[in-house]
Amino acid sequence: MLTRTICRRNLTLRAPSSTFTRAWGATTRLPIWTVEGSEAGPRARPMHTKPAYQGHIPLNWFENTLLAAGSAIMSLVDPRRGDMIAALGETTAGPSLSRLRDLMLESPEGRMILRERPRVNSETINMDELASYPEGSFGRAYVTWLERCGVTPDTREPVHYIDDPELAYVMQRYRECHDFYHCICNLPVNVESELALKYFEFANLGLPMTAIAALFGPLRLSEKRRSRLFSEYVPWALKCGGTAHSLITVYWERRWEQNVEDIKKELGIWDPPEARWSRPLIEAKALAERRRQASLSRSPSD
């Protein structure tokens, strides 16, 4: 008979408890157990870890792996599931966030971002003010891009599954600046452009989720659109993204008044092949101008 001997000493195996959303939407609390050694032998008891920040949902390695697999499948089945795409990004981030944080710490702008932790949404950004900036400025270009694509800056999911608060902010920052990358790269919001930007982001930032999206996303395209993606957009994305300044270190909100072409030259970014936009540029500029005029009419007279 094979006998296994266990040394009797106090051992505690700790892992966080968590609540997480399964791929089909049900919210479940999974009890995580602490194993404690004693003279009477090992025994297990449930343990709950206190969240490190608001909205934090601690996961152990098994839960993280399960959520990563489930969110990957759901993201492929239904790319409109922003919550699943966000979960995939967080559960597969690994050491890439630490590397991005270190890049930010090496940059004056990046250090300022980490210190001030700005957020990007309609409460922190005055769209009417941006619309009043001169034509050609980054602020005006961003408002025009939002109007042209019919989107708002309020669509980004909060971070839940990253344990370190500072790294959680780095992920949130990447997520909320995604539209800035669209704007500066002159890319609309459609499947081909999103995939082109994912290739760009992978070359520029190295996040695993961008590689997963770039690898499996094209499977949803028709043969013609997939051919155009790989023949035109991917070469631009890999070359431009790989040589451009790391975009995670850019404090975009402090560059509203800067000329957008000067920013692109500074960062080493050039335009991709012409994309298909759902709204003509002249119409988007007219909407931005209308916003500016409305803002002026609401301003108190001198």
CB 153 within 8 A of CB 179: yes
The total number of structural domains in the chain stands at 1
137 DSSP β-pair partners: 259
Residue 47 within any structural domain of the chain: no
Once rounded to an integer, what is the mean pLDDT over residues 252-268? 98
147 DSSP β-pair partners: none
Gyration radius (Cα) of the chain, Å: 23
pLDDT score recorded for residue 14: 38
The closest alpha carbon to 103, from 208, 202, 250, belongs to 250
Tokens of 89: 């990004």
CB 243 within 8 A of CB 265: no
pTM of the model: 0.79
Domain span including residue 167 = 93-291
Residue 14 within any structural domain of the chain: no
Examine the pLDDT at 26 and tell me if it is beyond 60: no
Examine the pLDDT at 183 and tell me if it is beyond 70: yes
If DSSP codes are grouped into helix, strand and coil, which group holds residue 221? coil
- 184 vs 288, residue with greater confidence: 184
CB 237 within 8 A of CB 200: yes
Q: Which pLDDT tens digit goes with each residue over 243-259?
A: 999 999 999 999 999 99
Cβ-Cβ contacts under 8 Å for 146 (sequence gap 6 or more): 127, 152, 153, 179
Angstrom distance (rounded) from CA 207 to CA 186: 21
Examine the pLDDT at 267 and tell me if it is beyond 80: yes
Tokens of 295: 């803002």
- 19 vs 276, residue with greater confidence: 276
pLDDT score recorded for residue 23: 33
Angstrom distance (rounded) from CA 234 to CA 276: 16
Residue 24 within any structural domain of the chain: no
Residue list, annotated binding site for Zn(2+): 178-179, 182, 194
| Residue 112: HSE in the Cβ half-sphere, 13 Å Cα cutoff | 9
Residue 27 within any structural domain of the chain: no
Q: Which pLDDT tens digit goes with each residue over 90-146?
A: 999 999 999 999 999 999 999 999 999 999 999 999 999 999 999 999 999 999 999
pLDDT band at 275 (very low <50, low <70, confident <90, very high): confident
If DSSP codes are grouped into helix, strand and coil, which group holds residue 41? coil
Examine the pLDDT at 65 and tell me if it is beyond 90: yes
Examine the pLDDT at 294 and tell me if it is beyond 80: no
Q: Which of 50-54, 191-195, 222-226, 296-300 comes out lowest in average pLDDT?
A: 296-300
Tokens of 169: 């902010």
pLDDT band at 296 (very low <50, low <70, confident <90, very high): low
Residue 173 within any structural domain of the chain: yes
Residue 227 within any structural domain of the chain: yes
User: Quick one: what percent of the chain has pLDDT higher than 70?
Assistant: 76
Residue 13 within any structural domain of the chain: no
Residue list, annotated binding site: 178-179, 182, 194
Burial degree of 68 (CB within 10 A; 0-12, 13-18, 19+)? buried
pLDDT score recorded for residue 10: 38
Once rounded to an integer, what is the mean pLDDT over residues 221-235? 94
Residue 122 within any structural domain of the chain: yes
Mean pLDDT of the chain: 83
pLDDT score recorded for residue 160: 95
Sign of CA dihedral 195, 198, 202, 206: negative
pLDDT band at 282 (very low <50, low <70, confident <90, very high): low
Angstrom distance (rounded) from CA 218 to CA 195: 7
> How crowded is residue 26: how many other Cβ atoms within 10 Å of its Cβ?
7
Q: Which of 42-51, 123-132, 272-281 comes out lowest in average pLDDT?
A: 42-51
